[in-house]
Amino acid sequence: MPNLQKTKSSLIPNLAGIIKTEDLYKKMKFDYVPWAKTAQLLREHADGWMFHLQSNHTENSSCDYVFQAPNGTGYLMGFYEHIDTQERGPLYPFAITDNANRPIKLDQISSTHIQNSHRRCLCACACFTFGLAYELWAQIEIQEANEPAPTPAKKEIARSPQRGANARQIKPSTAAHEMVTGKVAQASIPQSQKDALANELKTLTPIGRNKVISSFRQEYNISSEKISEFITTPEHLSFIRSKIAEVESDSV
């Protein structure tokens, strides 16, 4: 039974410490609680408290629940309210971001971005209001703070691969990049990066992993079921990682 903190009209549950190891799901190197499990725990331990998004009617925006930041990016304002007492928790701002955790300009926000941010805001606001899964949030912050800043990758301009019947077949032993200059350059990636990518794929569910593999095979017109020998260039790594991020975003 969670501890309860009194307010003037209702009891706000203290949900710190109620998550168990079986509630956790592995994403990359982090453990997290899926949004659906978070919703279930709230129903079990925070009876009557419902998650809401604050309307922005005063903003005169095209979307009633997306607020505009000073730099033109969008964010949500979430809160919990008790259905019987109408007691409300504090507002919690949550940035709408892409798969790389970068804030998105208002005119580029899609329905998928709003859907994913709503679910993430539900979880973050539950931690902020009730302390639910605060242990995981704290651990993520510590790990991120101790990690060295990533080295910026050199940008390479390449033509997008052709699709459909005329798409180019990738050779396992060669990986030609057609540059906008018309020159052909050979590119390769070390085995360590291949191994790291394989570990990332293993963190996905079987359905998610198959979705990533199918996308890669379709993109590069590969008939083989095994794709490891066809992953030979930084472009391939970037494509697969973008699909992994999409799958992870859908599971949040």
Helix segments in 131-190, DSSP class H: 134-146
| Same domain as 114, residue 219 | no
E strands in the chain: 3-6, 11-14, 25-27, 30-32, 49-53, 67-68, 74-82, 92-95, 176-178, 184-186
| Same domain as 139, residue 18 | yes
Q: Residue 153: inside a domain, yes or no? A: no
pLDDT digits (tens, 9 = 90+) for 197-231: 887 888 888 888 888 888 888 888 888 878 888 88
Evaluate the CA torsion angle 233, 249, 76, 137 in order and state its sign.
Answer: negative
Q: State the DSSP H helix or E strand holding residue 251, giving kind and residue range, or none if neither.
A: helix 234-251
Is pLDDT larger for residue 11 or for residue 42? 42
| Number of structural domains in the chain | 2
pLDDT at 252: 54
> pLDDT band for position 241 (50/70/90)?
confident
pLDDT at residue 10 tops 70: no
| Same domain as 122, residue 11 | yes
Lowest mean pLDDT among 20-24, 58-62, 119-123, 132-136: 58-62
pLDDT at residue 60 tops 80: no
Which range in 27-31, 110-114, 148-152, 172-176 is most confidently predicted, on average pLDDT? Answer: 110-114
| Same domain as 223, residue 169 | yes
pLDDT at 17: 83
pLDDT digits (tens, 9 = 90+) for 116-169: 999 999 999 999 999 988 887 676 443 444 455 555 555 554 444 444 444 444
Domain boundary among 119, 146, 173: 146
Domain boundary among 85, 111, 146: 146
